[in-house]
Structure 1
């Protein structure tokens, strides 16, 4: 045996205790040790049962991520699972913490399963663009039935122990030391003369409407292949003998391994974990933050305050007057009510947050003792600088002063204070208590421990925090302006906003750019266009039709009319939009042409990639993966494409550059290839090469 799996006997029960901290990931060494443990138990004439249990925080949390992307080494997990299930001994799995992916597949290979009340199980492989590949799609349906198995596998969710017991996955839920509880279970089974109970020998699940289920899952996944293919694997469990079903599962698994989607989702998986790990902060301690101030209680400010409360922080929210203060408190209460109704909060904690942790005031003096304050007022430089002058006067020395600005120069805001080194941008995304992205925007004068504090706050709030330099729009909104401009140009040249939205939802976005604009409010982009108008280059093509909509008071969903009409739950294209577009085309002398869905997608993505490459080249984003995470978590970019720069790598950087150079023949002002894009193409490199370079 190795140190990875301890072996001991208790009467007729051999205990195999996994010891691969912290979560017993199924490395090659663990798989090998489990094989050896089974061999040893079967060779012992006094052993009649085997108990598999884990040390530490979990039974088995899944595959060892250190082995991702490397050639698989024997023993392979499917072989281990088959080996466990085929044992002539009675095998029990005692589960605590999480049993995910291969961990659950090992447990399903046991003949009986017992779990702690707080245990959770799941098969999350779809989140990596795969399906379970060690019998999960064949064994689980024999326990739960096909419908429940499809839901568990295609969602990839964590299933609580009590629900898993109701579904038939777990035989018993019992609190106590996992080894002691499991040992008692195994001994009781032996005493009762219980037989081995291999899942593979259980009846196949009853069929369901496979084609309808496949179509439904594919639609829900907006084109992601792995959940839909998981339906086909479960179908094999119902229609084929077990061994043939395993072969079908393995074939589908291998086919998915070869897809771009799998590469995109693996990239997203690792990038999400890497994005907040900055070498510049490795030895920098953040400032202590327990009390937070929020300026402004509108939708954004209330969301930020809610997020802070849910993170266990006390909040002082400042509004301009009593009426506004009461409205802000009501918004926060509504957000917390939603968390309560979803089971995220107990009634006791809900009441404590509103009654004790939250204070809504109208006087800046109440911020005297907060550790960090976040300004979330109207996007206007004069308004924001006035707020920061107030904060500079009342906040204690060492308090971090943060702005939630979406576009404005944070250095200019910081200059209004006597402590610019304590000022930082914390750009939340609405609704701030739901959206996971946080752009930590760092002006040149901000000191490292303030940057570290921004990232620590993001982690405490459960955000994906991404470092950005200062420029107009930072990472996300600057890129959004570019791809939205590409969409606007296509409308002027012959596409309709509705064709563009449809093409991009086909690509995998939840909504197209015009539907998103309606959701955000057309007045927001209108204000930005007016702000930029005085410095706009005369060569820039800017459509006037969106301004005409706004001048008529049509701001999208909040007014019931924008690019679309919103009436009693129905959504229809607004016919007035194309009237305005066609009039502008005629005025500009544009002869419209058609755009295929593929051309719409390629132009939109080329604009996104090109601007992203400029941002990385300028150092606004330190790494391509930073851009990818911003677009994934803030802008609805399809996760299975990995992010715009991963998508570019998969297409080929030279291919994307060729597209941009083709478009530049029509408009060489907008379609100016990023120098970094040219450099990578010339050197035969890709964006991911930059992710692997040492951070500076």
Structure 2
């Protein structure tokens, strides 16, 4: 049953029961309407209470029914809301835990609302590129005020129920048992007539034209690539300037129009992609999981410290291992400073600060971590160093402990073979800064056990990371694709671009940072070392020599004040370098290339299609499970513009046949062999199909 019905004294209780968040599925919606009909027909019943079972009032639409006929089947949410509002007996929403989106709109349609403290109240639709579609933009301002409603709807962020207790949203805050309090409240208002309707409330908003004019300016600046936030402002403005029914029409028109935008489709793709990434086809949901009550990190550098903070933030004790006391002290001091900065900004309480700092301890001895449930190696990216660490871990760690490597590119199968328990070895490639970046590539070795996979996926959810499974190859999903992207960026320099033109073009497209700014941040010396290793392993791979020339000049990036750009001391602002420009132009002459003017469109296509083509190979090889996984890797780990939906979604929107045609054009130029379409890409393009 998705909604249950029972009568307590003279109050009918309708309980949404559709785990995990009581999504408003077709069956749930039908259950609400059926329960209302029974309550209205029962002469004994004088009031109705609606609540949610488990840990939510309602999280809104049931995502499992998105894009299926059930999502549009009657009774629709609009019909349910009309039935609630028109009920002839008072209906009380008993809100607890979570009331979001359509779930909150359901509560707004009730005659009364009561709530417990701590409930998360939100209209998060803007995060899917749409506006609330069932009256939220019209009813919420009537209850909490225009400014508060606008902030909630435009941001999509949740607000605690107690912070809204002084508004008309809640008629009573219940202490103690919610249902006992809700039923008592319902009995108290059972005979009150007329029944109050939110739609009848008059909004008091003097000088609203000036208010909304300023709001539009602010929102347009903050949401340049997304149309939904500005449409949210339009809808809330309609609640003030129009009659209720006319405002509802404005909301509906904007909702339907936004559904068709590429930006909304991209955000919805990302929403479902993140959920799909957590599913491993051959690892059932009920796979037993190993308990993770403590963790250890090998290496207290920037990466190791950041990883440790994730565990402490989730309440899991963690031990940092270093070889030298000064390195350990430096690492622990950096962690403490990070937490102190968060404390100063008011984003952390003193109690939480003390708890988190207290959960992280340091040691110089492997013996101190032997009972940890998981250990993550975060040492220098060199196989000999990894071998020493994993042989030692194999020797000291308890049976059943998960041994994981934070390697960004090395062969995990080889690392696993340094141990006598390769089934317990897995890759957990965190991204820097590890305490901030959401992405973790979960690298599945040939012998990695299913329960190790299931455990690490669940652990990443607990520490609020997005895990994406990758097979074993050089660079896994993200960095293997990035290698093609940076190769193509360097070829563009040879042919006529300068670093600032390439970076500006791709940043205008929406990337947070262009390839050369990114290279200076990561370190020119780091990319040089990776390139040298790859050239040795793959002599058939063509690389531009420009990066080597930069390295030979001792320009390593931000770390020493000059890379692809110049930098002033203490300032990370990139300044185009005359020395680098001359070096690039001279190199073009040396290799006999006549430089030409290159358009921003060509820059973007060559960089993005390089990613797309390599990803198609990854899908064919089974390194990536699904195209949406590739998109999630790039959206959460590489600064790919969210409104574009990821490289594979973007290629789908352009049309794969158009991608192949563009690649054919570039194949006529230098390094033409680079542009041979992956068989999967060529096949899908020929059949008129898409990746997703």
The secondary structure found in structure 2 opposite 1:591 is coil
Rounded to whole Å, the distance in 1 between the matches of 2:459 and 2:642 is 25
Q: How does 1:416-455 map to 2 (within 5 A)?
A: 416-455=418-457
Question: Shift of the alpha carbon at 1:204?
Answer: 6.1
Cα distance between partner residues in 1 of 2:399 and 2:33: 61
Match for residue 256 of structure 2?
254
Report how far residue 83 of structure 1 moved.
Answer: 3.9
Alignment of 1:364-513 (within 5 A): 364-513=366-515
Distance 1:597 1:200 in 2: 54
Structure-to-structure mapping, 1:130-141, within 5 angstroms: 130-141=130-141
| 2:27 paired residue number | 29
Aligned match of 1:107: 107
User: Taking structure 1 as reference, are residues 315 and 575 closer, same or farther at Cα in structure 2, changes over 3 Å only?
Assistant: same
1:459 CA displacement: 2.9
Contact 1:143 1:199 in 2 (8 A): no
Distance 2:74 2:297 in 1: 55
Show CA shifts across 1:183-238 (max 9, x none).
33334446887862424432264334545534543443351222232222223223
Q: How does 1:37-76 map to 2 (within 5 A)?
A: 37-42=35-40, 49-71=47-69, 72-76=72-76
Gap change, CA 1:606 and 1:219, over 3 Å in 2: farther
TM-aligned CA deviation for residue 5 of structure 1:
4.4
TM-score by length of 2: 0.90
Report the Cα distance in structure 1 between the residues aligned to 2:566 and 2:6, rounded to whole angstroms.
Answer: 66
Stretch of structure 1 that moved more, 666-675 or 25-34: 25-34
Q: Secondary structure at the match of 2:337?
A: helix
Q: Which runs of 5+ in 1 are unaligned?
A: 689-696
Partners of 1:287 and 1:453 within 8 A in 2: yes
Distance (Å, rounded) in 2 between the aligned partners of 1:449 and 1:122: 36
Shifted more, 117-126 versus 80-89: the winner is: 80-89
How far 1:176 moved relative to its partner?
A: 2.6
| Greater alpha carbon shift after TM alignment, 48-57 vs 116-125 | 48-57
- Whether the 8 Å CA contact 1:141–1:204 is kept in 2: the answer is no
**Are 2:329 and 1:326 equivalent residues in the alignment?**
yes
Match of 2:160 in 1: 160
Map 1:569-584 → 2, pairs under 5 A: 571-576=573-578, 577-584=580-587
Supply the distance in 1 between the matched residues of 2:276 and 2:319 (Cα, whole angstroms): 32
Which of 672, 688, 691 does residue 687 from structure 1 map onto?
A: 691
Deviations 1:389-445 (A, max 9, x none): 332333334333221111112223333334334332111111212222111112223
CA distance in 2, matches of 1:415, 1:636: 34
C-alpha separation between the residues in 1 aligned to 2:188 and 2:630? 56
Q: Does 1:677 align with 2:681?
A: yes
Contact 1:59 1:98 in 2 (8 A): yes
Shift of 1:348: 4.1
What is the CA distance between 1:624 and its match in structure 2?
1.7
Residue in structure 2 matched with residue 615 of structure 1 by the alignment:
618
Question: What is the total number of aligned residue pairs between the two structures?
Answer: 685
Contact conserved, 1:437 with 1:633, CA < 8 A, in 2? yes
Aligned equivalent of 1:692:
none
Equivalent of 2:648 in 641, 645, 650: 645
Aligned-pair CA distance for 1:604: 2.0
- Residue 293 of structure 1 aligns to a residue whose secondary structure is strand
Gap runs ≥5 in structure 2: none
SS of 1:432's partner is: coil
Where do 1:207-356 residues align within 5 Å?
207-210=209-212, 213-282=215-284, 284-337=287-340, 340=343, 347-355=350-358
Q: Provide closer, same or farther for how the CA distance between residues 54 and 313 of structure 1 changes in structure 2, counting only shifts above 3 A.
A: closer
Partner of 2:362 in structure 1?
Answer: 360
SS of residue matched to 1:686:
coil
Kindly state the Cα deviation for residue 251 of structure 1 after the two structures are TM-superposed: 0.8
The question of 1:668 aligning with 2:672 is answered yes
Structure 1 residues 272 and 590: CA distance shift in structure 2, 3 A: same
User: SS state of the match for residue 359, structure 1?
Assistant: strand
Tell me how far 1:463 sits from its aligned partner: 1.9
Q: 3-state DSSP class of the match of 1:107? A: helix
Alpha-carbon distance in structure 2 between the residues aligned to 1:578 and 1:216 = 39
Give the Cα–Cα distance (whole angstroms) in 2 for the partners of residues 295 and 48 of structure 1. 65
After superposing the two structures, state which structure 1 stretch, 568-577 or 477-486, moved more: 568-577
Instruction: Using structure 1 for the length normalisation, give the TM-score.
Output: 0.90
Instruction: Measure, in 2, the Cα distance between the counterparts of 1:228 and 1:500.
Output: 31
Query: Aligned equivalents of 1:229 and 1:53: distance in 2?
Result: 31
